[in-house]
Amino acid sequence: MTFAKSLLTVSILALAAGSAHAEKIRVAGNFATEHSSSLAMVKFAEEVERLSDGDIEVDIFPAQQLGGAAENVQAVKVGAIEMMWVGTAYLTRTVPELEIIGLPFQFPDRETAFEIVDGPVGDALDEKMAEADMTSMGYMELGFRQLTNNSKPIEDLADLDGLKIRLQPNETHLATFRALGANPVAMDVKELYSALEQGVIDGQENPFAIINVAGYSEVQDYVSNTGHFFDFISVVANKNWFDGLDTDTQALVTEAMDIAITYQRELAAEQDAAGLALLEEAGMTYTPVSEQLAADLRSATAGVATETKARLDPALVELLDTETSKSGM
């Protein structure tokens, strides 16, 4: 039995016995320790300790210490751990409505993206997450996702034909790469590095900062600024645990997380800006996307957003369209 499964079993029994306490909060994530989100969770722990005068302890488990992203989602759902920070795409099979903020070429910039998730659309998604026994604590930046591969520079649409590309388990993301002619494969991040190293897949897509801190430059040759999705990191708590906290502790945890998320968004922008140069220094060949290729990518994936919206709650789709029109999108 793995450590993560052992923790899951023991914690379920503890919760069944009514032993969940506010005095210790365990938070799991799959991002590298030096990634902005992991550093922000350290900030969260510091703020909780400060605001509680040391009465509440936060244990942070980054870098897949408690299992991969999918395992963390399940652990939080059942209350085996109190909180997690995870790429929002990993929640879409539990809360499909989250796909509404993962459409191809949806946001022109990070400011617009956060305007949407911090507003009524985010509130509506939080309600959907609550129905799945999860309390949304806010959204961090994962960032614009960029394509890497070991086959060739991506100079035109035909270069994507048949490339086996790892994606997160998000139906909209997978449909996007099918529309581009690639062969997308859903895979947990814990398997990604070895799959690239062994040539099981040709490439992957992630923000520059993730590609850098995860060491993918060691097993990938080519990188392009495709920017095909803007992605979020969801910070999520087990709903029963959070609802069981007294009002003051809920407010304290929420305040600490707000501080941490603000910190992360600023740091993420800095890491993203520096990421590409670091990848080039590490030996990757950078091929910028031309205006023609950008137009072709958008044209080839134009129908994906329509298909996604057609299978989601019409009221949510209408709300998104209303809010994006306010942003001039």
**Single-letter amino acid code for the residue at 243:** D
The domain of 154 spans 146-229+274-326
Q: What value does the mean pLDDT of the chain take?
A: 93
Supply the pLDDT for residue 22: 52
Do 36 and 159 lie in one domain? The reply is no
Report the 10 Å Cβ neighbour count for 263: 18
| Residues 189-212, mean pLDDT to the nearest whole number | 97
Task: Say if residue 73's pLDDT is above 90.
Answer: yes
How many domains are contained in the chain?
A: 2
Alpha carbon distances (Å) from 319 to 113, 123, 127, 172: 15, 11, 14, 19
Say whether both 322 and 236 belong to one domain.
no
Measured in degrees and rounded to the nearest 5, phi and psi for residue 171 equal -60, -35
Average pLDDT over residues 187-216: 97
Same domain, 163 and 204: yes
Residue 85 has pLDDT above 70, yes or no: yes
Residues 119, 11, single domain; the answer is: yes
Q: Check residues 22 and 210 and name the one with the higher pLDDT.
A: 210
Residues 62 and 160 in one domain: no
What does the pLDDT look like over 2-26, one tens digit per residue? 434 434 443 433 333 333 445 899 9
- Same domain for 125 and 262, yes or no, is yes
Question: What radius of gyration do the chain's Cα atoms show?
Answer: 20
* CATH number of the domain residue 266 falls in: 3.40.190.170
Q: Are residues 302 and 189 in the same domain?
A: yes
Q: Please indicate, yes or no, whether residues 177 and 285 belong to a single structural domain of this protein.
A: yes
Q: What is the mean pLDDT of residues 40-66?
A: 97
Q: What is the pLDDT of residue 329?
A: 77
φ/ψ of residue 55, rounded to 5: -80, -20
**pLDDT value, residue 327:** 79
How many Cα atoms sit within 13 Å of 80 on the Cβ side?
A: 19
* Both tokens assigned to 126: 């939080």
CB atoms within 10 A of CB 231: 24
Q: Residues 191, 300: one domain?
A: yes
Can you give the pTM of this predicted structure? 0.91
Residues 111 and 181 in one domain: no
What is the rounded distance in angstroms from the CA atom of residue 79 to the CA atom of residue 203?
35
Question: Among 36, 127, 16, 167, which Cα is nearest to 78's?
Answer: 16
Q: What does the block give as tokens for 18?
A: 């009514």
Quote the pLDDT of residue 5.
Answer: 40
Cβ partners under 8 Å of residue 326, min gap 6: none
Residues 66 and 114 in one domain: yes
Q: What is the pLDDT of residues 102-148, one digit of tens each?
A: 999 999 999 999 999 999 999 999 999 999 999 999 999 999 999 99
| Token pair listed for 303 | 């129908």
Give the burial class of 80: count Cβ atoms within 10 A of its Cβ; 0-12 exposed, 13-18 middle, 19 or more buried. buried
Residues 154 and 211 reside in one and the same domain: yes
Mean pLDDT to the nearest integer, 183-188: 96
pLDDT digit string (tens) for 275-309?
Answer: 999 999 999 999 999 999 999 999 999 999 999 99
Mean pLDDT computed over 28-39: 97
